[in-house]
Amino acid sequence: MSSKKKELQSTAMKRTSEWIFSQEIPSDVTVHAGGASFSLHKFPLVSKSGYIRKMVSESSDADLSEIKIPNVPGGAEAFELAAKFCYGINFEISTENIAMLRCVAEYLEMTEDYAVGNLVSRTDAYLNEVALKSLAGAVSVLHLSENLLPMAEKVKLVSRCLDAIALAACKESQFSMSGRSDSGNEVVISSIVSQPKPIVDWWAEDLTVLRIDIFQRVLIAMMARGFKQYALGPVLMLYAQKSLRGLEAFGKGRKKIEAQQEHEKRVVLETIVSLLPREKNVLSVSFLSMLLRAAIYLETTVACRLDLEKRMGLQLGQAALDDLLIPSYSFTGDTMFDVDTVQRIMMNYLENEVEGNRIGYHADDECGVTLLSDMERVAKLMENYLAEIASDRNLTVSKFIGLAEIIPEQSRVTEDGMYRAIDIYLKAHPALSDMERKKVCSLMDCQKLSREACAHAAQNDRLPVQTVVQVLYYEQQRLRDVMNGNLMGGDSPDLPPKVNIFSTDIRPVSDELSSLRRENEDLKIELVKMKMKMKEIERATVVSTTSSPSADKPPLPRKSFINSVSKKLGRINPFVRADGFPLSNTKARTRPSKDRRHSIS
């Protein structure tokens, strides 16, 4: 900074000396302003600057040779331009220097009271006729005014820029909003959501250069002019992406940001969240997730984080798995992902759905189907999230169970997703006790497993014995119901009581019924073959027993095809012994083997 100041001083001295030498009049006063010294003449300064005239007239020294001007707006550069104006030297007024010229003219009191066409009136004319006529010019002047506060506020430069920007932005937005009416807000919002990327107007890029407090005042001024709040979404998204760059908020690691920069970004984020539109579906879930990650990383206020969690909960049906994989920024050996935050988001979603049902969403059948379909998507999303975090060795049983229990059971068409998450968790946590494994497996309903999942579960050594027995029992019961339906002469078995009424499968019903009829015919043929084979075996058994009876020993029970099959299925059916006799008919019972000690009865 010292070298820059010296260079600035030398440049200022060189320029002023050139003015003096050109006039061949020796200087009679030295002005110290903005860290630089200027050798000037009293007469041209006093003739146009009321500030300098008062200092000269009020000075006790008749031959005042030094004037100090502290805190001059714009520094040495601004005073140099003001001095040039006093000397009548031509220079160009532009949007780059108009802000500091207006402020320094006010500070030096260069008004019409001291000279006609003074600097104050000249700068005001340029602002009104040139700079503030365009949105880009107004934004540029406002951006340069940020370093000229509070003088820029005193001369109402900031308020004039804000009003010009708000007026221009509303005019520009009318072209894109011309076909929309105020009463059609829902149509407007739905059209915004349906677009793959939000349309950002060309002027939104210019606003990203503004400081966050000035940016906030611009948006407030725009809304006061009639700009719709939901249309601010793309503008806020663009500003957030520009201002929050450099945050390591997408990976777990130590913070690599200075304290001052962290504070500035925290203020930016909290302000952006306070400006977010209240309408639903205006902002994407991925953008809200990005803000939430940054809020956790920057340790913003609790209210800020809870607000983002609530917004994500309202639109959870539109979320992807990556939106919920929020890293945990605690460094105490906690889980890799922030499970507690996701659990609160899910609770917000459920509360919103309950509130929606309470106010009458269920009255419309079409809306009710849409609501339950949305819950079905959320349930599938949460099952995928459970499967993703299940491999984390630091994930406790209580956290896993707590997150799984809040997924509505009626929204889970099948239990395959839950079974997959449970299987991954058991594989990643082999040291769980039997009781803990039972609690984890109790989260799924074995009746709703598909045939593929049942086949996998029946051979899964990680599951408790009781769970495997339940899977086999329900699978056998399902097959038995199908067989009984065919024996009764029904054309087709009844559909299971729990069916996917919200399935997105678009196959015609006739195809499904035809496939069921084909399966029924195949089952009927197999049953006839089994009956014929059973009669042949029983007939052969009767002939052999009547031809050679034993006189000393009682006759053995007749062996049938069912007896032979039951020996092979003894390990599967927990209600029949390996020799074919029911457990209830035995008097002397032996101790069951260890692997079936906890079999359900």
The answer to whether 76 and 36 have CB atoms below 8 angstroms apart is yes
Burial of 119 from C-beta contacts in 10 A (0-12 / 13-18 / 19+): buried
Which carries the bigger pLDDT value, residue 484 or residue 293? 293
Under the banding of pLDDT at 50, 70 and 90, the label for residue 537 is: confident
Report the distance separating Cα 351 and Cα 364, nearest Å: 20
In 3D, which of 153, 104, 102 has the Cα closest to residue 131?
A: 102
DSSP state of 200: P
Q: What is the pLDDT of residues 438-462, one digit of tens each?
A: 998 888 888 888 888 888 888 888 8
pLDDT at residue 340 greater than cutoff 60: yes
- pLDDT, tens digit, 9 for 90 and up, residues 374-428: 788 888 999 999 999 999 888 899 999 999 998 888 778 888 888 899 999 999 9
pLDDT at 39: 82
Are the CB atoms for 330 and 296 separated by under 8 Å? no
Instruction: Grade residue 201 by pLDDT with cuts at 50, 70 and 90.
Output: low
For 341-362, what is the HEC assignment? HHHHHHHHHHHHHHHHHHCCHH
Distance of CA 356 to the CA centre of its chain: 22
Q: For residue 57, what pLDDT is reported?
A: 83
User: Contact at 8 Å (CB) between 328 and 252?
Assistant: yes
Q: Are 345 and 312 in contact (CB under 8 A)?
A: yes
* Band of residue 127 on the pLDDT scale cut at 50, 70, 90: very high
Q: What is the pLDDT of residue 71?
A: 86
CA distances from 458 to 312, 444, 480 (A): 39, 15, 18
Tell me: pLDDT of 552 over 50: no
**pLDDT greater than 70 at residue 173:** no
**How confident is the model at residue 9, as a pLDDT?**
52
Q: Quick check: 158 pLDDT over 90?
A: yes
pLDDT in tens, 457-492: 888 888 888 888 888 888 787 777 777 765 544 444
What average pLDDT is seen over the chain? 75
